[in-house]
């Protein structure tokens, strides 16, 4: 398993970030807010990894971010601009800049 883990909300977000990433990263989809059981299942295998969180800049995304912040206090939080709203609609150039500080990205 990869040492870096990027948590996103959905499959469209996963596809979007994979277009930018130029290194092996385990991109995990939460499919929205997590139940306690699903949260536990998600967290256990990644506790010792470098975890990054990139969720939508909307109410649902912020709710998920708060939930993950409580359970993964050492995770690094990455943000898209509110004007872009969702990760999947964030321009590739902007997404590249957001990820560049933490991952190898395509030029």
Confidence bin at 1 (pLDDT 50/70/90): very low
The 10s digit of each residue's pLDDT in 62-107 is 999 999 999 999 999 999 999 999 999 999 999 999 999 999 999 8
* H or E element at residue 77: strand 76-78
6-50: pLDDT as tens digits: 999 999 999 999 999 999 999 999 987 788 888 888 888 898 899
Q: C-alpha 80: how far from its chain's center?
A: 11
Between CA 14 and CA 28 the distance in angstroms is 8
Residues 7/54, Cβ–Cβ less than 8 Å: yes
State residue 59's pLDDT score.
92
The DSSP code sequence of 65-88 is HHHHHHH-TTPEEE---TTT-SGG
Domains of the chain in start order, with CATH, are 4-100 (3.40.1360.10)
Q: Are 5 and 49 spatial neighbours (Cβ–Cβ below 8 Å)?
A: yes
Length of the chain: 107
């Amino acid at each position: 398993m990869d040492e870096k883990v990027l948590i996103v909300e959905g499959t469209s977000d996963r596809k979007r970030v994979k277009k930018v990433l130029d290194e092996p990263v385990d991109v995990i989809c939460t499919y929205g807010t997590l139940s306690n059981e699903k949260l536990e299942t998600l967290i256990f295998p990644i506790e010792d990894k470098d975890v990054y969180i990139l969720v939508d800049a909307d109410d649902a995304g912020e709710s998920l971010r708060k939930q993950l912040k409580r359970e993964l206090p050492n995770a690094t939080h990455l943000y898209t601009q509110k004007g872009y709203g969702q990760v999947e609609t964030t321009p590739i150039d902007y997404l590249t800049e957001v990820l560049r500080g933490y991952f190898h990205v395509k030029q």
